[in-house]
Structures are given as C-alpha cells and as structure tokens.
Amino acid sequence: MTRLVGVAAVLWLSLLPALASGESVSVITVDGTIGPATAGYVSRAVDEAALKNSQCLIIRLNTPGGLLDSMEKIVQKLLGSPIPVVVYVSPAGGTAASAGCFITLAADIAAMAPATTIGAAHPVSLGITGSQDDKSDSTMTKKVENFAVSYIQAIAAKRSRNVEWAETAVRDSASITSEKAHELKVVEIIAPTLDDLLRQLDGRMVNGKPLKTAGAQIGEIKMSVAESIFQAAWRPEVMFLLLLVAMYGIVGEITTPGAILPGVAGAIALLLALYMAAALPVNVTGLLLIATAVALFIIDVYAPTHGVLTAGGIVAFSIGSLMLFDPRDPVFRLSLQYIIPGVALTVAFFVLVVGKGVRAQRLPVKVGKETMIGKTGSALTAIDASSGKILFEGEYWNAISDVPVQTGQAVLIKSIEGLTAKVDPKV
C-alpha cells in the first residue's frame, strides 16, 4: 500500500509543472506525400491550434516530397500563422525532401531528429514534368526552376536561414544531414525526442514573445477520416486503377447495352481519375497512348486482324502506363508491379470478355420464331392471302400466301408476323 502511494505521489509531482503552467502545445504528424489532403490538414491544424491558444504548433514531418501547389498552400499558411509553428523532421531516418524542404524552411523554428536529412528540392520532385529533349519543355522546366529558387530564397531570408544553401537544394538537389543542417544554420534545433524538443523550445523568442513549452500539455490534432482516406487515395497507383475501372466499365456498357452498372461505375471512376489528373503530374502523352491502345483493342474485336492490332495495343498500353507519370520523380513513379498486371488484365479483358461477347452477339439465332424463316412446313389446309394453316415441327401455325397453296403441299416459310407465317409454295 505504501509503495502504491509513493508511485502515485511521483506521478502527481511529474504532472505539477503542466498543471501549474496551464500551457498547451498542439502536435500533428505529416508522414508521406505532400498533396491536397496534407495541405488541408495542416491548414486546419493551424486554425485549431490558434483557437486553443496553444504555445505553438509542432509539425512532425517525414516526407519524400509532393505537389508544388500543395506545398505553396502549406508555406503560405505557415508564413501567415497567428501562432508559432515548429517543423520537426522525425523520426530518426526520416527526411524532409523536395516539398518538405520548403515547408521546413518556412517554419518559425526548424528542428530535426538525429540521423535525418533535408534537401533535394529540385522542381522535378515537385510534380513538374517535361522532356529535356523538347525545347519548349526544357524552357518551361528552366522557368519553374528559377521560380523555385527565388521562392525558397525568399522563404529562407524571411526566416533568417541559410539562403545560399537553400538555392543549392533546388538547383543542385543538395541534401544534408541534421548535423550539417544545424551547422549551416538551416535548422535551429537537433532533438532526439519530442520531450527534448519541448525542453529546448522553452524560452525561445518568437515574434517578440518567449515560448512556454516546459511541462506544457501536448494535444495531438489527428487527421479526419475524410483527410485520411483522401491522403491514402492520392497516389498514382490509385489513379491508374481508376483508369482501368473506367475503361472496363465504359467499354463493357458499350458492348453490352442495358447492363447499366458497368457504365455507372466506369463514369464515376473516369470523373475521379480526371479530378486526380488535374493535381498529379500526369504526362498527356501517356494518357493518349493508353487511349490509342483502347481504340486498337476495340477495333480488333469488331474487325479481326489476326491479332495485329491487339499486339499494337499491348505495346501502346505498356508504354503509355510507363509514361503516365514522370519516371524521374520517385514520389509519383508508377511501379512495374502495377503496370504488368494492369497490361495483362486489360489484354485478357478485351480478348476474352469483350471479344467473346461481341462474337456471341454475331452468332445466328438458335431459338425462337426467327429460326423458322427459310425452313419448310406442310399445308394442313388450303392457303390463300387471307387464311390457312400449316404444320411445322409438330406445331400448328396460321398461314397466308400471295400464291394459292393446296392442302398437303410443302411450303417455304418467308417471315413471321405475330402468330401468322407468311409462306410460298415450295417448288
């Protein structure tokens, strides 16, 4: 009993500083690609932390990079934040590459855990695509690079950080460790843990006010369900799968009219894929090659060419999938483990499903009254233009004929109108 009382006393004493100060610190975790969901999450967290009157907002950051537009929104939010923002690159082994480098430099205080890295902020890692072999694309890439350089220089200058190194991070994709970043005055703090970071932040002046983080209560602001789903879905693999679903659904509806479900699913998937394409660094040539492949598959189904067009479609689809996203960008590179099954599944879909479905529609009718046309029956009564009866395969049918037919005479069935057969005497 005495021992339990002692433990409770120790716990109470450890909580006293936080209870006495009444201060709080808000914390969020950004782990993964920087995209629209991340930008919304960070913006919401800044506003919530301000409403809670937190001492600061700490962003635990570990990212390989992301989209230029999303990065700009986050940077603007950090630069205009009403409360201090601390970007903490962690855990050990983590990185603030590409867009993450801009975000780290935009914080009021930048911190890194040991064995982390920062840098590699060249525009190719910010969702900017373009072929260096094409003069216009090369010119555009150069313009974007110059913009990125001036942008990161402005951020570094505003936060009184190493402007020269910031430029090399963009132009030369320079990347450095946490220790080197601290030495070059890229970041202010190296902290192995969040508790140690709070200790080092305590008393630091930000906007003329000292931070009171020692013993502050930590309140974590988590991603909402919608943000989590959107963040997980905002990947090139998901867009690729959506394109496949759209393709299968729409083609399935065209070749099997009235099915409805494939058409609805395909239309929804297409709209979602186009929405993602507006933000992801999609290569238009890759999309056109995939569309060409689909056209070749469909043409080969309706006008068989002994597989020549299908082979061309396979090649076009494979190359288009490889080119769909810039292969130089590791963040948005589409893996072969998705491309190869996607190509195989698409070929199987058009050859086995669509092909067999279309060919089945072209087969002659095997059941129903349509099968009677062109076959022979026997006149049970005299047949004229107004009345008569025939026997066909054990069934009695009303019959009419423009040429009079005698009882017992063989007749040739020309057409069926309702329950009446139009016949001619068989010669």
Mean model confidence pLDDT for the chain: 83
CA–CA distance from 249 to each of 256, 269, 299 (Å)? 10, 9, 17
Q: What is the rounded CA–CA span in Å between residue 264 and residue 92? A: 47
The residue written with tokens 């060249």 in the block is: 122
Ramachandran sector of residue 170 (left: φ over 0; alpha: ψ -120 to 50; beta: rest):
alpha
pTM, rounded to two decimals:
0.69
DSSP string, 314-334: HHHHHHHHHHSB-TT-GGGPP
Sheet holding 189-190, edge to edge: 189-190, 109-112, 85-89, 57-62, 24-31, 217-220
Q: What is the rounded CA–CA span in Å between residue 39 and residue 80? A: 14
Of 36-45, 143-152, 350-359, the range with the highest mean pLDDT is 36-45
Chain segment 160-209, per-residue pLDDT in tens: 999 999 999 999 989 999 999 999 999 999 999 999 999 999 999 998 89
pLDDT at 48 over 90: yes
- Burial state string for 380-409 with b = 16 or more CB within 10 A and e = fewer than 16: eeebeeeebbbebeeeebebbbeeebeeee
pLDDT at 246 over 70: yes
Q: What is the rounded CA–CA span in Å between residue 400 and residue 384? A: 6
pLDDT at 13: 42
The residue written with tokens 């050859």 in the block is: 351
More confident residue, 52 or 298: 52
Q: Residue type at 403? A: V
The residue written with tokens 């808000």 in the block is: 26
Chain segment 362-397, per-residue pLDDT in tens: 555 555 566 677 788 888 888 888 889 988 877 888
Percent of residues in the chain assigned helix, strand, coil, to nearest 5: 50, 20, 30
pLDDT at 8: 47
Domains of the chain plus CATH, in order, are 19-229 (3.90.226.10), 235-362 (no CATH), 369-425 (2.40.50.140)
369 Cβ partners below 8 Å, 6+ apart? 416
pLDDT at 3 over 80: no
CA 222 to chain centre: 22
pLDDT at 7: 41
- For 327-353, what is the mean pLDDT? 76
The structure tokens listed for 32 are: 């993964």
Q: Sorting pLDDT into bands at 50, 70 and 90, what band is 238?
A: confident
- For 112-122, what is the mean pLDDT? 93
pLDDT at 144: 81
pLDDT at 377: 87
pLDDT at 30 over 90: yes
Q: Residue type at 425? A: P
pLDDT at 5: 44
